[in-house]
Amino acid sequence: TDRAKLDAKALWRKDKDHFIHPFTDFSVFHDQGCDLITDSDGIYVEDAKGNRFIDGIAGLWCVNVGHGRAEIGQAMADQATRMAYFSTFNNLSNAPAAELAAKLAELAPEHLNHVFYSCGGSAANDATIRLVHYYFNRLGKPEKKRILSRNNAYHGTTYLAATLTGIASNNWDFDTLDHLVTHLSEANCYRRPEGMSETEYCDHLVAEFEETIERIGAENIAAFIAEPIMGAGGVLVAPRGYHARMQAVCRANNILFIADEVVTGFGRLGHFFASEAVFETRPDIINCAKGLSSGYAPLGATLISDEIYEVLGTPQRKGGVLSTGFTYSGHPVSCAAALKNIEIIEREGICKNVREVGPYLEEQLRTLSHHTTVGDVRGSHFMMCLENVADKATKELLPVEARVGDRIAFEAQKRGLIIRPVGHLNIVSPPLIWTRETVDRVVAILDEALTAAT
């Protein structure tokens, strides 16, 4: 960017006066204004003042192939100049949407061969539930409607996705569609009941699921939705075997198993999809977004099994169509970005990099456990989190006013690293091109930041 042409002060003013920022604390925002991120390259971003930071959050868990990939920009420009947009309703289509659907069917578990496009993760989840309800209606089971989700899950913020979301503070002063969703306990190994082994904890969570089905009635439950590893809810890794056992319960009760791979998909855990490769599950539906296009363009996708498609794809009643979809379903420029993104992931062996560097990142972040506030370091591969506490023995939290996550993130940013504070947590979810050397630099910065902040 030619910084001389960027009048940062004027931009801040416009931003502050007119841009309603998502997920922003207005009391802080009104005092401090915003940080303008103006430039990016590889693992780095730069602000309007010319400060350079290592991006520790891949934008927002999404810039998987790293920043400034000219070839993605070029693919988008080529598509935009050739044919930027045309409808995909009725029988219309476009080349990138068709190519990408076929590529996703190739990458996904074998039985997932059908793709419904949306504009992001929330919309993908929302569209999925609409399709699931439609599926059961067409099977003659209109009472099978309720979706089981989990406390602390994050599935987005459209009305329905926000209802699936189980992070209580996300819905403070908002309404939710409670008749559609029931939340189970999250799988939180760090805060599991005292004295329970991991195996007993897993039994306990599965038993809760079975009791909930018994109470509500399997005939009233359409689906169970879960992130393979909970992201925004605190990077919670379930006890070993949990997902496979939950899926077995779903099978036994004719409940669909939906994996929300918006964060875990496209390499973050070392594979294009984590469900089968890491967690040995075979979801009926996988949702993805974020890493699908590495954030270069908005895009979400619902990957649907052959079995479900058999019902969705049968002709509607006379005069009807499958009346769901968005103007931008299968947007050619977004699909062109995703195709190039996937080509880069494959060509550069990015999943392999995550499998090699990921365990090193985990191991090195764990060396920070000696800091007095670091109660837990958890996650897997390029999806990690520090949980800060007042007392490691009791796991008691620091008061909210202490803003411990914010303070640590602030000290890290001063030293050239952006990580994400979420309450008392600090999330590290970097571009998937970090090397061991990057990890060493990051951990050294975090070590200093923790000392300075706590």
Phi/psi of residue 184, nearest 5 degrees: -90, 175
Complex with ligand PLP: residue 149 or 373, whichever CB lies closer: 149
Closer by beta carbon to ligand PLP, 167 or else 221: 167
∠ CA 258-293-68 to the nearest 5 degrees? Answer: 150
120 binds ligand PLP (CB under 6 A): yes
Confirm or reject binding of residue 156 to ligand PLP (CB under 6 A). Answer: yes
CB within 8 Å of 85: residues ≥ 6 apart: 328, 331, 332, 333
Provide the 10 A C-beta neighbour count for residue 3. Answer: 13
Give dist(CA 40, CA 62) in Å, integer. Answer: 14
Please state the closest distance from residue 267 (CB atom) to ligand PLP, in A: 15
In the complex, the smallest distance separating the C-beta of residue 298 from ligand PLP, rounded to whole angstroms, is 7
- Does 227 contact ligand PLP by CB under 6 A? yes
Q: Which of 121, 405 has the CB closer to ligand PLP?
A: 121
Residue whose C-beta lies closest to ligand PLP: 121
* Residue 362 binds ligand PLP (CB under 6 A): no
Q: Which of 114, 155, 271, 340 binds ligand PLP (CB under 6 A)?
A: 155
Q: Does residue 166 bind ligand PLP (CB under 6 A)? A: no
**Token pair belonging to 55:** 């991006």
211 vs 122: CA distance, rounded Å: 29
- Closer CB to ligand PLP, 22 or 320, in the complex: 22
C-beta closer to ligand PLP: residue 66 or 121: 121
Nearer to ligand PLP, 64 or 122 (CB): 122
Is residue 234 a contact point for ligand PLP (CB under 6 A)? Answer: no
Q: Does 63 bind ligand PLP (CB under 6 A)?
A: no
Instruction: Quote the least distance from Cβ 361 to ligand PLP, whole Å.
Output: 19
- Candidates 150-158, 169-177, 237-245, 409-417: pick the segment binding ligand PLP (CB under 6 A): 150-158
Nearer to ligand PLP, 381 or 407 (CB): 381
Min dist. Cβ of residue 302 to ligand PLP (A) = 12
Alpha-carbon distance of 333 to 75, in angstroms, equals 8
Q: How far is the CB of 314 from ligand PLP (least distance, A)?
A: 29
Nearer to ligand PLP, 167 or 450 (CB): 167
Q: Which of 232, 246, 286, 443 binds ligand PLP (CB under 6 A)?
A: 232
Helix 332-347 vs helix 350-366: angle between axes, to the nearest 10 degrees?
70
CA distance 59 to 282: 29
3 φ, ψ (degrees, to nearest 5): -65, -30
Taking contact as CB under 6 A, which single stretch among the options 129-137, 180-188, 224-232, 350-358 is the one that binds ligand PLP?
224-232
What mask of x and - would describe binding to ligand PLP in positions 79 to 118, judged by CB under 6 A?
A: ----------------------------------------
Q: Is 122 in the site for ligand PLP (CB under 6 A)?
A: yes
Is residue 154 near ligand PLP by the rule CB under 6 A?
yes
124, 301 contact by CB (below 8 A): yes
Q: How far is the CB of 118 from ligand PLP (least distance, A)?
A: 9
Which residue's CB is nearer to ligand PLP, number 66 or number 156?
156
Contact map string, positions 372 to 411, toward ligand PLP, x by CB under 6 A: ----------------------------------------
Greatest alpha-carbon pair distance for the chain in Å reads: 68
**CB of 437 vs ligand PLP, minimal distance in Å:** 28
The least CB distance from residue 43 to ligand PLP, in Å, is 20
CB-nearer residue toward ligand PLP: 62 or 97: 62
Judged by CB under 6 A, does residue 231 bind ligand PLP? Answer: yes
Subset of residues 243 to 262 that bind ligand PLP, contact rule: CB under 6 A: 260, 262
CA–CA separation, 362 and 181 (whole Å)? 34
Give the binding site for ligand PLP (CB under 6 A).
120-122, 125, 154-156, 227, 231-232, 260, 262-263, 289
